[in-house]
Structure 1
Amino acid sequence: MRIGAHVRDDADPLGSAQRYGAEVVQLFVTDPQKWNKPKPHPQADQLRKSGIDVVVHSSYVINVASLNNRIRIPSRKAVQQQATAAAELGAFGLVVHGGHVRQGEAVEEGFTNWRKLFERQDDEGGFAVPILIENTAGGDSAMSRYFDSIARLWDHVGEFGAGFCLDTCHAWAAGENLVDAVERIRSITGRIDLVHLNNSRDEFNSARDRHANLADGTIDPQLLTEVVRQAGAPVVLETPAEGLEDDIEFLRETLSQSQPASN
């Protein structure tokens, strides 16, 4: 099981990996708050040869589900461009949030828009790396807040080989019990390709996406570790920078113990 972090310096992920002792690095390939096309990464060749696993997180502006053409169409283009940029880094996937429709709009159309993303790209030979859809924390019209919604989404995209990224803070904030979250998600998607391991600053079912360090949030750290054990997937910590090294050390130490942690 390989453990790493989302790096704060996208231009020097190798330096960050060395500093944190990370076996996995997650990074952005462009400004996450803009529609900019990715540029060639200065460490692309080194990353491919480094032995470090790389995963790319897509821009936050992307909303594939949107019924608004001015958002959905550039979102589709951005996913394609960022997947290509991820492949150039040797990444094993591109994480994309499930997105949402606006209040009052038909949720089913959001699921249909996700299917259209894969159908259109399938006609072009598919994406350069797997698309890893991430569960989200809030919004009643979200595609991937509730596990029931994720099941509906998978009815639309599962046949295209979509991957899944399980975020523990998001699931907690969405009101989904973490004790059996891995089992339930696997029964829906058949897979977990990546775990975003984050504690939460807010209470269960808060619908608020505010990450905390593993020992500082409202989720029992032992429960978070048990999610990692059960998932058996690469782990990326997106916790606050001040305690990130301690989080990695805690997780490695806990996982090395001979007996699994109790729920």
Structure 2
Amino acid sequence: MLNIGCHLSISKGFYNAALDAVSIGANTFQFFTRNPRGGKAKEIDMEDINKLKELMIEHKFAPLFAHGAYTMNLASDKEETREFANMILRDDLERLKLIPNTYYVFHPGSHVGQGSEKGIEFIVNALNEAIDEDNEIIVLLEGMSGKGTEIGRNMEELKAIIDGVKNNKNLGICIDSCHLYSAGYDVVNNLNGVLEEIDKIIGIDRLKAVHLNDSKVEFDSNKDRHEVIGEGTIGLEGIINMINHPLLSNLPFNLETPNELDGHKKEIEMLRREYR
């Protein structure tokens, strides 16, 4: 079964977001843990969560994706920015204990000119403070396109973070098809080679989830511009190869394409037809 969804708002609650997912043929969805620009998160309504649990069981949902705020820069050169990011990280992980079967996905951060080695050191410190030995939440570093001073533009940087975290048994990665292609990983012409490299450097067992997006920009451009499935430089065939690859086909996929709900429904219907 293809486990696929898209990014949905939880402004009206988790249960209503899950109903929207079901209405478009999805069996997972991604949500922001708080306003994507940061700030205080809404209180969790346990009645809403209990209804969500029942619906997820009824419709055989795959893990949900909880996406960290874009302002959460654990690698910043400013101490107050790192402290704010660390607070968000700890708070998000605590809140996710109440939400069933959910992965936590976040952008590792940007070193803003101080160098990736220093930025990675800050990220590792933050994760070591936030993740204790009893942590059961799957925490996923998102691979990035490599624009500006982003950390996570290659597997070596992601591995350095994972290796530096003491309690890393539930620490893995989420790949993004657009980001990978823009970062110089040719998922169109050499998907097997890309996955072999992930396995060699990080271990394929740490690859837990996929953001499924076409790309508006060319290969190895280091730009992050998502496109509707089949209308970009990766193309429909490249995306179909990803969802059917034996190392990826059982993972949860979430669309972050520039579409509304109806557009995502069409994408999901098309991909389900192409899933083998």
TM norm structure 1:
0.87
Deviation at 1:90, TM superposition (A): 0.9
Identify which of 151, 157, 165 aligns with 2:159: 151
The question of 1:170 aligning with 2:170 is answered no
Identify which of 209, 217, 228 aligns with 2:232: 217
Aligned length: 254
> How far apart in 2 are the matches of 1:147 and 1:125?
25
Deviation at 1:5, TM superposition (A): 1.4
Give 4+ residue runs of structure 1 displaced > 6 Å after superposition: none
Matched to 1:46, the amino acid is: K
Deviation at 1:186, TM superposition (A): 2.6
Identify the residue that residue 265 of structure 2 maps to in structure 1: 245
Verify the 8 A CA contact 1:211 1:238 in the aligned structure 2: yes
The correspondence of residues 156-235 of structure 1 with structure 2, limited to 5 A, is 156-157=164-165, 160-161=168-169, 162-178=171-187, 179=191, 180-190=193-203, 191-228=206-243, 229=245, 230-231=247-248, 232-235=250-253
Deviation at 1:185, TM superposition (A): 1.7
Deviation at 1:101, TM superposition (A): 0.4
Identify the residue that residue 24 of structure 1 maps to in structure 2: 28
Verify the 8 A CA contact 1:38 1:85 in the aligned structure 2: no
Could you tell me which runs of 5 or more consecutive residues in structure 1 were left unpaired when the two chains were aligned: 257-263
CA-based RMSD: 2.1
SS of corresponding position for 1:95 = strand
Could you tell me which runs of 5 or more consecutive residues in structure 2 were left unpaired when the two chains were aligned: none
Distance 1:50 1:84, change over 3 A: farther
SS of corresponding position for 2:41 = coil
> How far apart in 2 are the matches of 1:126 and 1:67?
30
Deviation at 1:158, TM superposition (A): 7.7
Identify the residue that residue 60 of structure 1 maps to in structure 2: 70
Matched to 1:247, the amino acid is: E
Query: What percent identity do the matched residue pairs reach?
Result: 25
Verify the 8 A CA contact 2:147 2:223 in the aligned structure 1: no
Deviation at 1:141, TM superposition (A): 3.2
Deviation at 1:224, TM superposition (A): 1.8
TM norm structure 2:
0.84
Identify the residue that residue 4 of structure 1 maps to in structure 2: 5
SS of corresponding position for 1:249 = helix
SS of corresponding position for 1:43 = helix
> How far apart in 1 are the matches of 2:268 and 2:178?
16
Verify the 8 A CA contact 1:154 1:188 in the aligned structure 2: no
> How far apart in 1 are the matches of 2:145 and 2:166?
21
| CA deviation vs aligned residue, 1:30-83 (integer Å, no higher than 9, x gap) | 111122234214732222222233221111111112231111111111011112
Distance 1:10 1:185, change over 3 A: farther
The correspondence of residues 5-154 of structure 1 with structure 2, limited to 5 A, is 5-11=6-12, 12-41=16-45, 43-51=48-56, 52=61, 53-103=63-113, 105-122=114-131, 124-125=132-133, 127=135, 129-139=137-147, 141-154=149-162
Matched to 1:83, the amino acid is: L
Deviation at 1:127, TM superposition (A): 4.5
Distance 1:32 1:91, change over 3 A: farther
Verify the 8 A CA contact 1:86 1:129 in the aligned structure 2: yes
Verify the 8 A CA contact 1:3 1:23 in the aligned structure 2: yes
| CA deviation vs aligned residue, 1:222-257 (integer Å, no higher than 9, x gap) | 22222232323111111122421121112111113x
Higher mean Cα deviation, 141-150 or 208-217?
A: 141-150
> How far apart in 1 are the matches of 2:7 and 2:224?
16
| CA deviation vs aligned residue, 1:148-205 (integer Å, no higher than 9, x gap) | 3223333323861212101001111122221232232232222211000000111112
Matched to 2:252, the amino acid is: P
Verify the 8 A CA contact 1:84 1:129 in the aligned structure 2: no
> How far apart in 2 are the matches of 1:6 and 1:74?
25
SS of corresponding position for 2:20 = helix
